[in-house]
Structure 1
Amino acid sequence: MWSLQLNSFLYAMLAAIWLVGLNNASAQEKEDDANSLYSRLGGLAPISMVVNDFIDVIVVDELLNANPAIDAARKVVPAPYLKYHVTAMVCQATGGPCQYHGRTMKAAHAHLNITQKEWEQMVVLLKGVFDKYEIPGKEQQELMDIVDSTQADIVMSK
């Protein structure tokens, strides 16, 4: 009888230790989520608003549309479709729950012959949208680091 009680007690202690460990892991995951760029930006709604305005700004930009390949792509790829994919990509890249299922940056942009000058124009437009939404400097820099990591796959000519 004593042996059975001791085993029950040991199993209960092991279960309690395991549950405490799970709770600590969950607390750490919650803290990590709260510290993610996605969370600091406010989640999906604010991200989608920024992306919406950014796409609205770039699709009418004269410098970007002077590139015949970009202009032609604008006529084939509807802005709402682009907004959907860019929102999912930003959500995922910032630590959010979304999954981007589009093409790679290289595959999506290779045929556009994007120049360094066009890239720089896009960055100016993007920063203008960041400023419009008063995104804090630290978060802007983290977003720009993500954007900059795609430059080699997007810019195809000087």
Structure 2
Amino acid sequence: MSDQESESLYERLGGAYGIAGAVDVLTERLFENDTANRNPVTAEFHEEHDPAGFKYLVTAWTIEHTGGPEVYPGRDMEEAHEELEVTELEFDVVRTEIKATLYHVGVPEPETRELMGIIDMFRDEVVADEHRDESWTAP
């Protein structure tokens, strides 16, 4: 087994600094994305909260879910998104921004694919039941 194969995704993404840098770019993209902010609850959240706290939570969540230390202090994904009433489209818009950000900051394809697999595992916890499209299949 090569050294790269034995490294966690967290390590291959550059650890806390690499992840924080990507999340910094991602947050700017999400706060400016008109489609992502079409959801009135999301738009209100972005207007009322400083992006720094959101960046911290997304960074900590990503660190933990990619094999880094357990540092995420937030709620689970279902609880955190419950009142947002996220639709399949809104999930896909955020998913697209995540993937585009990974490409933008130069994350290699294998790591991008692996992280997107993690994101896709949380679709059912993020998308509201009444907005779930049972015919949807992963990209």
Shared fold, TM over 0.5: yes
Does residue 46 (structure 1) correspond to residue 18 (structure 2)? The answer is yes
Separation (CA, whole Å) in 1 of partners of 2:65 and 2:45? 24
Correspondence for 1:89 among 38, 61, 67? 61
Deviation at 1:71, TM superposition (A): 0.8
Deviations 1:102-130 (A, max 9, x none): 01111111111111111111111111111
Separation (CA, whole Å) in 1 of partners of 2:59 and 2:21? 9
Correspondence for 1:139 among 71, 94, 111? 111
Aligned to 1:58: 30
Give the structure with the larger helix fraction: 1
CA contact (8 A) 1:44 1:91 kept: yes
- Counterpart residue identity of residue 75, structure 1: E
Poorly superposed stretches of 4+, deviation over 3 Å? 31-34
Does residue 74 (structure 1) correspond to residue 56 (structure 2)? The answer is no
Does residue 35 (structure 1) correspond to residue 7 (structure 2)? The answer is yes
Deviations 1:50-70 (A, max 9, x none): 011101100111011111111
TM-score, reference length from structure 1? 0.75
- Counterpart residue identity of residue 58, structure 1: L
Bigger relative contact order (CA 8 A; separation at least 6): 2
Separation (CA, whole Å) in 2 of partners of 1:141 and 1:38? 14
Q: What 5-or-longer segments of structure 2 have no aligned partner?
A: 133-139
Could you say which structure has the larger radius of gyration? 1
Q: What 5-or-longer segments of structure 1 have no aligned partner?
A: 1-30
Question: May I ask how many residue pairs the two structures share in their alignment?
Answer: 128
Aligned to 1:130: 102
Aligned to 2:136: none
Taking every aligned residue pair, what percent have the same amino acid on both sides? 30
Deviation at 1:148, TM superposition (A): 0.8
